[in-house]
Structure 1
């Protein structure tokens, strides 16, 4: 069994929008989170979806799920005070509904440019190797920031990759380690991959396209719109 945990608990402060959280901003009449969810809804190997949402926006989110026929989303749960707690809340719901040996793909609700192949490859990687994260090749030089404003280490770009999503695990493993972190008061992990690595889990990588961006700023939204429009134009032209 394979399930998706879609994290849509952010407020979108860097998007500079006061009307809606970024995951509910619309392109061509469809919210960003629905673009994301449709990839999992239509994937034949995904059996269920858990959505983590800002508590005040849960009723609206449920309306969208019904309107756009996201029938695999059986649970919509409130987020927490940070990303780690929000994902934990989603994992609790998943743990209550699905078996421990289910593969769970943790994905950002504002990362809508994934595709069927990424999801398939992530599931296969977990089945073959265990925990996995989606990455893309680094296309710019990466430097280590120092507190004094000087440049620290400069890394060889050919040896670097950019961490993306989904991040994928066996449900029992990721849930147990989130429980452990909670019990130990370790509540500041940047993501589930870093949490799992902290507790000794070896992570495999699945290489995906660079366009699998997270929509965080207005510039990201314009890139998303350009890619969607380009794809639609290609369909119209029969390309």
Structure 2
């Protein structure tokens, strides 16, 4: 089975919103999170969706799931004390729902509503090929790396990519890594691919679209709004 784990547990402090977390901000009457969920709900190869949500917002999310006729959400679970802990809770929910050696999980940010069906398909295919998939985009600006040995190392831009989402794995592998990190007391992995790399797993890469941004700031929201308008115009005018 192919299960999407959509993380929507953040409070969105950088968005400076007062009334609601960023994942529930609305565009054309629809929350950002629902835009994201719909991408997986409409994909023919996705068998189920687990959403990890701020506990106090679960009733609202369940109402939105019904309103927008989302069919594949099989469970909504409350988030944990950190992003890493929240993802682990989501993975445990997948284990309860669809445990199996061939179960693939696609871990995705609830505030990345601009991925495509092709990216989801490529993630599933790449996991079957090499055991994992990290969606990336090319670095379009210079990246500066700081470390003790070399205070300012500047890699070639052509050798550098930026990790985004989905980040996809066999369920058994990512759960093993999470449980090792909990046993080792490591609670600050920035994302799933960092954890998997730390524990020696091979990482496959697919290139996603540049517009696959994470909506974190007001500027990001304006970009999202513009992209939705572009897609709507394409449907109406055919360009």
What's the TM-score once normalised by structure 1's chain length? 0.96
d(CA) in 2 for partners of 1:144 and 1:161? 13
Q: Secondary structure at the match of 2:173?
A: helix
Q: CA deviation at 1:83?
A: 0.6
Which string of whole-angstrom CA distances, capped at 9 and with x for unpartnered residues, describes residues 178-205 of structure 1?
Answer: 1121122111111111111111101010
d(CA) in 2 for partners of 1:146 and 1:175? 30
Q: Secondary structure at the match of 2:69?
A: coil
Which string of whole-angstrom CA distances, capped at 9 and with x for unpartnered residues, describes residues 53-78 of structure 1?
Answer: 00111111111111111111011001
Match of 1:135 in 2: 136
Match of 1:105 in 2: 106
Q: Gapped runs of 5+ residues in structure 2?
A: none
d(CA) in 1 for partners of 2:159 and 2:184? 34
d(CA) in 1 for partners of 2:63 and 2:47? 21
Match of 1:25 in 2: 25
Q: CA deviation at 1:99?
A: 2.3
Match of 2:69 in 1: 69
Moved more, 42-51 or 172-181: 172-181
User: In the TM superposition, what are the counterparts of 1:1-239 in structure 2 within 5 Å?
Assistant: 1-100=1-100, 101-145=102-146, 152-239=152-239
Q: Gapped runs of 5+ residues in structure 1?
A: none
RMSD: 1.5
Structure 1 residue ranges (4+ consecutive) displaced by more than 3 angstroms after TM superposition: none
Q: Secondary structure at the match of 1:213?
A: coil
Q: Secondary structure at the match of 1:132?
A: strand
Q: Secondary structure at the match of 2:90?
A: helix
What's the TM-score once normalised by structure 2's chain length? 0.96
